[in-house]
Structure 1
Amino acid sequence: MKLTFTLALLFLLFASGQSARAQDFVYEPKNPSFGGGNTFNYAWLLSSAQAQNTIPDPAANSAAAQDPLASFASNLNQQVLAQLSNRLIASQFGQGAIRPGSYTVGNYQIQVTPGANGISVQVTDNSTGNQTTITIPNTP
């Protein structure tokens, strides 16, 4: 009797059961950088990544640790060197436009020649023989 009742119950469960239904899985990225993620997640993902970052930025530490007096001295040195180079160039080339001719500055030979397209400046490194040509176009 017990066996018959169990078999009848199983038969009723299988006969009255509905077919299983499922839906398609849809992939949705979370990060907006990976094409299609929700843009509102960007700030949260960025702050989460920054909070987990345990490696210090060496550039940030060097800028913060620099002494203001050392920064002032470096800035002053750069300005003095800039003024010195301006005076050297003015004494070598004169004031105003660059005059055609041949100039020697240290290991460099500088040849300035006017042309149809403008002024051509050819710089030759005497120690290596490397040459660079710069054309300054005519202004209308």
Structure 2
Amino acid sequence: MKHVFTLTVLLALLSFGRNAHAQDFVYEPKNPAFGGGNTFNYSWLLSSAQAQTTIVDPASKANATAPDPLANFAASLNQQVLAQLSSRLIANQFGQGAIKPGNYTVGTYQIQITPGANGIGVQVTDTSTGNQTTITIPNGF
């Protein structure tokens, strides 16, 4: 009896069963670094990895402490004092008004000022190292 019931259930399952269909599996890598992956996946993979990382970069500016307002004030004050000092030194060296063409020596710097068609050319030479910097100030300034 037990065998007849098992045989009946098995025949019933076979008669109600459908044909199975299958397809081939095709491997396609997602990451372009792993040979053949789609290059358009790169930015998505990178942003996904960066969003999941829990490692904090110690050198990032986002982790830096907020700037101290008192330190900012001191730095601003120092810049203003140095700007005033440099203005006075330039006025003492070159006189008031526009800088006159010619050669000037300030410490180890040789400064040559020449007027040109494009504006005023300023060539600064460090006589101790031989380094040169050329600046052109356009007409109208």
The interval holding the TM-score normalised by the smaller chain is: 0.5 to 0.7
Corresponding residue number in structure 1 for 2:65: 60
Corresponding residue number in structure 1 for 2:117: 116
CA separation in 2, counterparts of 1:6 and 1:13? 11
The change in CA–CA distance for 1:127 and 1:8 in structure 2 (over 3 A counts) is same
**TM superposition score normalised by structure 2:** 0.61
The change in CA–CA distance for 1:12 and 1:130 in structure 2 (over 3 A counts) is same
Counterpart of 1:134 in 2: which secondary structure? strand
The change in CA–CA distance for 1:20 and 1:116 in structure 2 (over 3 A counts) is same
The change in CA–CA distance for 1:92 and 1:19 in structure 2 (over 3 A counts) is farther
The change in CA–CA distance for 1:34 and 1:81 in structure 2 (over 3 A counts) is same
Look up the equivalent residue of 1:102 and give its one-letter code. Answer: N
Q: Percent identity?
A: 62
The change in CA–CA distance for 1:71 and 1:107 in structure 2 (over 3 A counts) is same
CA-based RMSD of the aligned residues comes to 3.3
Structure 2: tracts of 5 or more residues without a match: 22-42, 46-50
Corresponding residue number in structure 1 for 2:7: 7
Corresponding residue number in structure 2 for 1:139: 140
Residue by residue, what CA displacement relative to the aligned partner does 1:54-90 show, whole Å, maximum 9, x if unpaired?
77865315x2xx473x554443332222111111111
The change in CA–CA distance for 1:19 and 1:99 in structure 2 (over 3 A counts) is farther
**TM superposition score normalised by structure 1:** 0.62
CA separation in 1, counterparts of 2:56 and 2:118? 57
Residue by residue, what CA displacement relative to the aligned partner does 1:15-61 show, whole Å, maximum 9, x if unpaired?
2134679xxxxxxxxxxx839xxxxxxxxxx8x98xx7877865315
Look up the equivalent residue of 2:44 and give its one-letter code. Answer: F
Q: Out of 30, 34, 44, which is 2:44 matched to?
A: 34
Counterpart of 2:99 in 1: which secondary structure? coil
Structure 1: tracts of 5 or more residues without a match: 22-32, 36-45
